[in-house]
Each structure stands twice: as structure tokens, then as C-alpha cells.
Structure 1
């Protein structure tokens, strides 16, 4: 299925108001077909680089938020179960760990209680598919600098059955539960180091494994959310165990997403934030890092200008289409702006071809783009 909207979370700095704005990516960032995009590129290459930067017009807000803590900041926005059928459920939290859920499709707001321990600014958020026999996803949240809060850096938002037939009270059936921290945080001499890359691998039967890479020579670890267990009535049991994978790091920066139509994981290349890469993580070898199968330059900054990336996000729209969202700081002036690009992957006999569609620029004034979901 195709996603209908992409959610832009903006911040009005003067009023300290966050807004969720729902953008139609196909209207703003895509031609009617890959053929039309290729023809436009062929014509533009005779005159100027393609795609030329257009000016992005922000959609009207669907909902506004203000933080209740004294700092007036919201530290987390994440799409809960980011699939085509759940493209509007947004979980957010303030600096105190107070969390809520806004369903932009239903225009419904619900409270989600409070983290056991706040998870810092822009934590790792990963939604996983329901376990066998269950009908609700889970969201795993990890501080990007694990170990700062006495090891209480990892939690899961999970659905808890109340034993009642009426489950309409959202607050009473969802909870945050602490999970064991990555093992490296308890090693002697550990200093909080940043998570460099993360992703989830689903076995297709409802059990997911989370992979996390950390800097400082720590390497890569896996967290098994559950394992199949025929002895249990539901057919699975929670394992919730960390294990060491290897001394290497995953070859991308930030999150990589699994795309079923290509059976590959896509993310931004570790040392090339303006390059997408495709990696096969279906059979990870502890002896060596996964191999980058292909990479493509998805954005060409102007020559002579230093664009320093501060935020990178890849959104899979379905049917081979993606949106890349990047926030940059101009090296000389520290001016900040966002660039959104529509791209399409087309499968060939033995490789993928990237087709660039349109590219839009948004300069930050009183309002900035903070998250793209």
C-alpha cells in the first residue's frame, strides 16, 4: 500500500508551538511517472543540475502542541507503526518524559503516561510488528547516549490486556516498561557514547530483533524482543536479551528501513550523508560488517557551499517511492534550512536504479522543520 501523507513537525520559535502538518508528497515531490521524471532530467541536464530546488510551501497545521515542562520543549516525535494503514499515529514526549499519542487520521489525542526515565533529545524509536496472536504493535525507545540514567535507558511501549471486552480506554491499556540496557553500559570505564546506527529485522512470523551500533569502539549489539516457543499458549515467549554481534558498525547512519518489495534495508551511507545505500541484513555475519550492495547520490549540494547535515530521515512511501528529508546548516552563516527530495527505485535484472523526481527547499525563519515522519 502507498502512504497518503508525510507528517512534518514544525516549531514556531517565538511562540514555542509545535505543529503537525500533513503533506501530500506526490503533489509536491513527484512527477506523474518515473518516465516523466527521466524526461525532465534529460531536458534539465542540458541547462542546469537536476532536480532544481523548488520552494516548499508548508501545509496548514492539523494539530498544535505546547510542552508542559518548564523548558517548553518536546524531545520526541515518532510515527507509531509506520505502515500505510497507520501513517497518522504520532507518539511524542516532553523533557520530563510525559508522553502522548495524536492520531492525525482520526483527530484523536490520548495520553500515554510517563517514561520511567526521560529518554533525552531525539531518542531511538523503533516500532515492531505484533507478536504471534497479538494485534498491537510495540514501540522500543532507547536513549541515543545509553547509560546516562544508571542504565535505565531503554523502554518499550506495549499493549496490556485489561481482561475487559471494552478496550476503549487507551490510557489504561498501554504502559511504558523498562528493559535491560545494552551490556556495554555496565562495562568498567564506559563513557556514554552515541548510537550511530540502528534498525529492526523481522523474521516474518512476528518476532523482531533490534540491531544497534555504537561509537567509541563498542561495535554492534542485538536485542531479541521475543522468540518462538511452542510450549507457550500464544506460541512465543519474551526473551528480551542483548547479545554481542561484532566489533564493526552497521554501514549506515541513523536508522535503516526494511523495504519488502526489494527485500533490502535502505539508509544513508555512514560517510556519505547525501548518498542512499542498500544493504542485506537477512543473514548477519559476526566476523564482518554487512556489505553495501549499492549506493546512489540522492542530493547534489551546490559547488562551493558547505552544507552541514544536522538531521537525516528516509521515509518509505511504498511501491518503490521514497522521500529523503535533510536539515542542513550553511557553514559560513550557520543558516538552517530543509531539503526534501522525492526518489523512486526501479528494479532491474541484477540491480536497482534510482530515479530522482523533485526537490524542495524550505528556509527556516520563525518556523523550523524539526521532524519528518
Structure 2
């Protein structure tokens, strides 16, 4: 029987910024032990075994984005408040989403879309509505939204979204190979095409006003990079990547990359979290290569971004890295 659980843990990021060590690209990768979980989530049992959970971006009302949400294969969604350590009432998606969705917070709402958009129920928003109850209980509800226009074209084949981000706090941009970049206006619930070009990121990128830049991972090599999206598109050009010489982690060639996350810690400090797998192979004279155990692990790296020089160039200082092995999950998330 598969006893799959999804533990939620708090890792003290200060350990990545040693006060005695010397920051730089030569910092040694250290193996560490995961702290015990303070809560674990278990998906409902399916036909033969336990199902899976997918977790979404942090969101909330106002400036406090302390909620995370998880959904099972049936579309049942639970809300968890990271600050208060409380589980809120369950709500149900209008249409269950496929595994590995994309999600962003825009305003006070959470927006979730299938990684491979399709015409029926692939895009929804979780919004808080006024409660009729006497006590102030957040009343969250999923709302169906129109899919990207290109999925309605004749002959469309489901294609994965390559990159996505939020622009001006209310516009969600997505890039899909072969279709270009589209924007969704969350205020008007309307789609528009930005251009035939694609965002220079892989996965999610975020805007950081203190740098007036979007930071994410390069579509070329999955290394941390930056871009001025609005400056380029306002002049009719395509966004380009800056700081291509940044190297946030020297991954071993045997590591199979999975997801990457960038977490802002404040005061110019960031944590880069990258998930990997390794496969232990055994060779026999009769059967050739036999794949053995699969090891899942995540590497957390502390970074500092500084403005330097007369032109205010952005400089990245890499601090320590910690490697954590984990089990019982095929994926992971960092908030």
C-alpha cells in the first residue's frame, strides 16, 4: 500500500548565509538533514492506490500572502495559512486540473492553469468573497475563466507553457512554444496577444520592484537571470536576458533537473531551490542496464543581489548551499 504523504517543513534560511565563511562560487555543497514536519497532508485514496496532491503559489488578501493551497485528483482544494498554521475550509475546483499546474497570485486572487491548456475548464481563479456568516470567515471560491485563445484554434495540439509571470500586478503573461506570448487581464478577464516571441525564462518569473527587473531561471540553461520585460516590449522588441554569467549552482552531470524556485528573503537576500533526481543503475551480463533506486533531493543556495558601480550594475554573490534528500514524494515545492 502506498502511504504517500506530503510533509510541510520550515527550514531556517540563515544557515545558507554563514557569517564566518567567505562568499563566492567556491562555497562547498553540504549535505543536511531535513527538519521534522509540523504538518503533513495525505491525498485521498484512488481506485487502486493513494492519489496525488498539487500545490499552488502563495496568495492572500492585501500584502499578507500567507496562504498556500493544494488540490487532489478530484479537484478538492484545501487552504493552509502558513502564518497561523491553520487549515481552512475545503473548496472544489470547477474542473480538476492535471498534474504540475502553473499558478500565480495577482491582486487578492490565486490563478491556476493546466500546464497544457485545453478548451474545457483549464483556467480558474480562487477569490475571497463576502461571507454571510456572523463571524469573519474567509469565503474562498473558484471561478472559471476563458482559456488562452490559441487553444481554440482548429488542429490545436496540447502544448506545455514554457514560461509565465505577472506584469503590472494585474496582467498574467504566458509563453507557449509555437504560439508566442499572450496576456490575461485579470481586471477585464480578457486575453490579448503580446507577440510571436517567447519570454526568456523557464517556468515562473517574478517582478522585483527594488531592482525594476523580472528574475527567474533562463530558458537556455536554467540559471538565475534577469530581464526588463516592459522596457523591451514597449519599444516593439522581444525581452532579452541580462546577467547570463550568473551561476547559482554547479550541478553534477548525473543530476536530472526537475523544478526550480526563487524565494525572496528580504534585504537583498534570496534562496534558490532546485530539485533533482539521480538513478542508480546496475549492469548485468545478460540484461544490460537495470535501473535501481531513484533518489530525490533538493539543493538550497543562498544568494545576495547588490547594485554596484556608477551604472548600478546588478551583482550576484553566492553563499552556502545545502543538499537535502527526501522520500515518499515525486515532486516538491518551496514557498
TM-score range, shorter chain: 0.7 to 0.9
Structure 2 Cα separation of the partners of residues 40 and 317 of structure 1: 17
Structure 2 Cα separation of the partners of residues 143 and 312 of structure 1: 18
Structure 2 Cα separation of the partners of residues 368 and 86 of structure 1: 30
Match of residue 162, structure 2, among 181, 193, 196: 196
2:129 aligned residue:
160
2:43 and 2:50 in contact (8 A); partners too: yes
2:6 and 2:41 in contact (8 A); partners too: yes
2:321 aligned residue:
359
1:319 aligned residue:
267
Residues 140-159 of structure 1 mapped to structure 2, 5 A cutoff: 140-147=111-118, 150-159=119-128
Deviation at 1:58, TM superposition (A): 1.0
Match of residue 180, structure 2, among 211, 215, 219: 219
Runs of 4+ in 1 over 6 A off after TM superposition: 82-85
Question: Is the alpha carbon distance of 1:175 and 1:286 closer, same or farther for their aligned partners in structure 2, counting shifts above 3 Å?
Answer: farther
Match of residue 30, structure 1, among 17, 35, 51: 17
Structure 2 Cα separation of the partners of residues 286 and 98 of structure 1: 44
SS at match of 2:172: strand
Structure 2 Cα separation of the partners of residues 338 and 30 of structure 1: 17
Match of residue 348, structure 1, among 291, 308, 321: 308
Please state if 1:60 is matched with 2:60.
no
1:180 aligned residue:
146
SS at match of 1:311: strand
Question: Is the alpha carbon distance of 1:19 and 1:88 closer, same or farther for their aligned partners in structure 2, counting shifts above 3 Å?
Answer: farther
Question: Is the alpha carbon distance of 1:330 and 1:342 closer, same or farther for their aligned partners in structure 2, counting shifts above 3 Å?
Answer: same
1:297 aligned residue:
247
Which whole-Å deviations, capped at 9, do the CAs of 1:310-330 have from their partners, x for residues lacking one? 111111112211111111233
- Compute the TM-score of the two structures, normalised by the length of structure 2: 0.87
2:197 aligned residue:
248
Q: Which has the higher contact order (CA 8 A, sep 6+)?
A: 1
Q: What is the aligned residue count?
A: 317
Structure 2 Cα separation of the partners of residues 285 and 191 of structure 1: 31
1:74 aligned residue:
52
Structure 1 Cα separation of the partners of residues 125 and 89 of structure 2: 16
Deviation at 1:340, TM superposition (A): 1.1
- Could you tell which deviates more after superposition, 258-267 or 305-314? 305-314
2:56 and 2:102 in contact (8 A); partners too: no
In structure 1, list runs of 5 or more residues that go unmatched. Answer: 1-12, 42-48, 130-136, 227-238
1:62 and 1:104 in contact (8 A); partners too: no
1:245 and 1:286 in contact (8 A); partners too: no
1:220 and 1:250 in contact (8 A); partners too: yes
| Aligned alpha-carbon RMSD (Å) | 2.4
Structure 1 Cα separation of the partners of residues 86 and 327 of structure 2: 30
Which whole-Å deviations, capped at 9, do the CAs of 1:198-256 have from their partners, x for residues lacking one? 000125xxxx10000012x1111000111xxxxxxxxxxxx110011111110010000
Deviation at 1:353, TM superposition (A): 0.8
In structure 2, list runs of 5 or more residues that go unmatched. Answer: 282-293
Structure 1 Cα separation of the partners of residues 332 and 300 of structure 2: 13
Match of residue 254, structure 2, among 300, 306, 309: 306
Structure 1 Cα separation of the partners of residues 124 and 329 of structure 2: 31
Question: Is the alpha carbon distance of 1:211 and 1:250 closer, same or farther for their aligned partners in structure 2, counting shifts above 3 Å?
Answer: same
- Compute the TM-score of the two structures, normalised by the length of structure 1: 0.79
